[in-house]
Amino acid sequence: MQFKSNTISIVISGLAFISALTITGCKKDCLDPANPDCSNYDACLTATQTNADFGFFNKGYLSSNGESVEIYLPTRDTVFILEGGPYFMYFRANSSEMDHYEWQIGLDPRTFNDSIHRTTFQNVAGDIDVTLKVAQESPNTDCFPDDTGLDQVTRTVHFVPYTASTIEEELAYRPIYGEYLGYNEDTPSDTFRVKINRTHWPTGFPNITGLFEDFTVWDFTGNSHYIYFIEERTEYNTEGSIELLPGNKTIVIDYVIKHHDGKVIPRKWVGEKI
């Protein structure tokens, strides 16, 4: 009996030793600071700091594979608005993890308490201040010692009357139109041109040519500095965005080619206006 007892003790000890090696091995072998199982894990990499920064957005809808896709479109702080017409703008907090939100829009005495807020502007011109206040009930002072749990950011929207009566005048309002010379980042020596233009005015939509052979986007939504598009073809679908960077010279096209056999190819094209 004593022999059996010793044998069991040895087996248990061996299993404990193997388990310890496994745990220690994981801690030594992986070096991902965002992975809690790794020895160099840094909890502050994923911690949330109190942050009231926010952006301006339009919202659009695209039809993809028979389903409606909701898209938030980043826009700039300068808005061209038709005289007397309404303009819908979304204000979206950069962080959706705050405990409390409070928006104040211009001189409106009301406050709004969602992380995303939509305002309809009617008959406006000039500047309107937008303020977001946020709060966290238990700020992470271990990672952010100066975090009080409160933050506030104010940004200004500049409303400019839209008075274009010709397509030439409209180009001043929509500087993303034009022709660009650039390359995909994975093949920088292979440069080619991409063109964004209007086929008809004022009711026609822009089209985008040159990104692929015989490629014209037929389903997209966008604004003066940003376009989101979906192209559905027999061999593959393409989905992406085009952004005109500050300075109105450089565009970046982030897009994904989704082949029907499951292959996915992400790409980024960077071009300069010519």
Q: What would the pLDDT profile of 125-148 be if each residue is shown by its tens digit?
A: 899 999 999 999 999 999 999 999
Domain 54-162 maps to which CATH number in 2.60.40.10, 2.40.10.410, 1.20.1530.20, 2.130.10.30? 2.60.40.10
Other beta carbons within 10 angstroms of residue 137's beta carbon come to 8
Phi-psi region of 178 (alpha: psi -120 to 50; beta: other; left: phi over 0): left
Residue 270 pLDDT > 70: yes
Side-chain-facing half-sphere of 163: CA atoms under 13 Å: 4
Average pLDDT over residues 248-268: 90
Average pLDDT over residues 166-186: 86
Q: Which residue has the higher pLDDT, 2 or 38?
A: 38
DSSP per-residue codes, the chain: -HHHHHHHHHHHHHHHHHHHHHHHHHHHH---TT-TTSTT--GGGS-------EEEEEEEEEEETTEEEEEEEE--SEEEEETT-EEEEEEEES-S--SEEEEEETT----B-SSEEEEEEES--EEEEEEEEEE-SS--TTT-TT--SEEEEEEEEEEEEE---SHHHHTTT-TT-EEEEEEETTSTT-EEEEEEEESSSSSPPEEEESSSTT----EEEE-SSEEEEEEE-SSEEEEEEEEEPTTSSEEEEEEEEEETTS-EEEEEEEEEE-
Q: What would the pLDDT profile of 7-65 be if each residue is shown by its tens digit?
A: 333 343 444 444 444 444 445 578 788 888 888 888 898 899 999 999 998 887 766 66
Q: What would the pLDDT profile of 213-249 be if each residue is shown by its tens digit?
A: 545 454 455 567 888 877 777 777 888 888 999 888 9
Tell me what pLDDT residue 102 has.
98
Asked if 244 and 167 touch (Cβ cutoff 8 Å), the reply is no
Residue 266 pLDDT > 70: yes
Q: What is the pTM of this model?
A: 0.70
Tell me what pLDDT residue 64 has.
61
Task: Please give the Cα distance from 60 to 9 (Å, whole number).
Answer: 67
Task: Please give the Cα distance from 204 to 48 (Å, whole number).
Answer: 44
